[in-house]
Amino acid sequence: MLVHVICRGNVLRSVIAEAYLNALRTPGITVMSSGTVADMHHDRNAPNVPRIRELLRRHGVAEFAKPVPGEQLTQRRLDTGDVTVCVNQIVHEEVCSLFAPSGPLVVWDVADIGEAGRIPSDERDFDRYLELVYAEITRHADVLVAELAPARERIEGGRGGQPDRSGNIARRGS
């Protein structure tokens, strides 16, 4: 089962989710990530990549992170996921307005640094928000893995090879 996590720049939230979920090494689950506006904000986001790598290192998941963040979401990438996660409502709206999702989207409620309520006044604030985002992403990821367990069992049990995308895994803000 392929879980595709989408944020805006594919530098912070979706990269954390991808690294953390990969670090869990859950049998039958692979993870990829993309950003709705990654190409547009690549240069602006680049200076933050070392800080985010350091965050992942501190939490022991850096080795599971993609080598180069900032992958732009495309329709082809969107179509590859069995379970697609939008990290918040803003991302969900962008995905739905820019692309044609073929299935339901899981929507979390993780605000990005720079969005309402997360505007840092200094470097210390920025670092505090990094830790907060990490905690929120990993909490949602743990719930997602627990919710996907029954779907993985159905797939492994031979029910046509496609996950049932209804019910728990499609809840918003789990």
Tens-place pLDDT, residues 124-136: 999 999 999 999 9
d(CA 87, CA 33): 11
pTM of the model: 0.85
Domains and CATH numbers, the chain: 2-162 (3.40.50.2300)
What the block records as the tokens of 155 is 């797939």
Sign of CA dihedral 38, 92, 120, 58: negative
3-state secondary structure of 1: coil
Beta bridge partners of residue 5, listed in sequence order: 33, 85
Give me the mean pLDDT over the 18-33 stretch: 96
Q: What DSSP string describes 85-106?
A: EESSHHHHHHHHHHS--SS-EE
d(CA 43, CA 70): 10
Higher pLDDT, 173 or 109: 109
Q: What angle do CA 80, 86, 89 make, to 5 degrees?
A: 145
Comparing 118-122, 145-149, 150-154, the range with the smallest average pLDDT is 150-154
Higher pLDDT, 162 or 10: 10
Asked if residue 7 lies in contact with residue 13, where contact means CB atoms within 8 angstroms, the answer is: yes
Tens-place pLDDT, residues 41-54: 999 999 999 999 99
Spell 14-28 as b/e; 16+ CB within 10 A means b: bbbbbbbbbbeebee
Q: Which residue has the tokens 């006044």?
A: 121
Mean pLDDT across the chain: 88
Give me the mean pLDDT over the 69-87 stretch: 96
d(CA 79, CA 77): 5
